[in-house]
Copies of this chain bind each other. A is one copy, B any other.
Amino acid sequence: MTGMESPRDIRARIARSQWTKPTTGLAPAYAQANVVILDRRYAFDFLLFCVRNSKPCPILEVLEPGVTEPHATAPGADIRTDVPLYRVWRKGRLEQEATDITGCFDAGMVSFLLGCSFTFEASLTGAGVPVRNIEEGKNVSMYVTNRKCASAGPFSAPLVVTMRPIPNDLVMRAVRITSRYSLAHGAPIQVGDPGALGIRDLDRPDFGDPVTVKDGETPVFWACGVTSSLAVLSAEPELCITHAPGHMFITDVLNETLAAL
């Protein structure tokens, strides 16, 4: 599978379970999405959580109860089959991972597609800003911070951030570039001070892998979509389905159409 395949072709392959790995680097010109699926009785409160916390949870599309096709962002796709790996949660606990959730999706379920930092990683590398997790072939480093998101109904969560070490003289360029992508977490929320976020040791991320921070580099922190997973689990819904970390839904939306100015 190469970066030249269309999102539609890649999704078709994923639907046949011929691709069950992370989606980093696939169809790099197109936006990928975090996925959260839960019952309609939680839908207002969870949508409000996303609206109130748009940096970690930027809304790309919401599918109304029972709708399986993301008409706006991926016409023809099926949210029940087109994610490489799902996680099925019962009362906030992981029950199983699955490549197809057709069996547990019902007419009351609402699906949320939320923006992902893969969108701005392509723009960073395209502008000469190195992205260490890509260079080292690792998952990005993620940390639970001491900042609380605004809660909504039963949903609450600490802000989760990603960290990328940026050469000191390129930090402002990284800020400028990512600021354009408000639907992919936008500008960093912190530059250079892990302690201010309550992060004690960059080498021990809460999710993902540690990456090398070189001399002359500054750790830069962006809001992270994993925040949405912590929020949805905080409510301990009877049933909830998310993508497995790194195994995103690939949309037909060009990254550049999400950019401001």
Contacts and interface: CB of A to CB of B under 8 A. Distances in A.
A48 B48 CA distance: 9
A152 B152 CA distance: 21
A52 B47 CA distance: 12
B40 A44 contact: yes
A1 interface: no
B44 A51 contact: no
Interface in A169-216: 179-180, 182
A51 B48 contact: no
Contacts of A52: 62, 72
Contacts of A64: 48, 152-153
A261 interface: yes
A116 interface: no
A220 interface: no
Contacts of A4: none
Contact of A179 (B47, B48, B153, B261): B261
A34 to B, nearest CB: 16
A140 interface: no
A126 to B, nearest CB: 19
Contact of A44 (B47, B179, B182, B261): B47
Interface in A46-69: 47-48, 51-52, 59, 62, 64
Contacts of A51: 47, 51, 59, 62
Contact of A48 (B62, B153, B180, B261): B62
Interface string A224-261: 00000000000000000000000000000000000011
A38 interface: no
Q: Which 6 A-B pairs have the closest CB atoms?
A: A44-B44, A43-B44, A260-B260, A47-B47, A261-B261, A51-B59
16 contacts: A43-B44, A44-B44, A44-B47, A47-B47, A47-B48, A48-B62, A48-B64, A51-B51, A51-B59, A51-B62, A52-B62, A72-B150, A179-B261, A182-B182, A182-B260, A260-B260
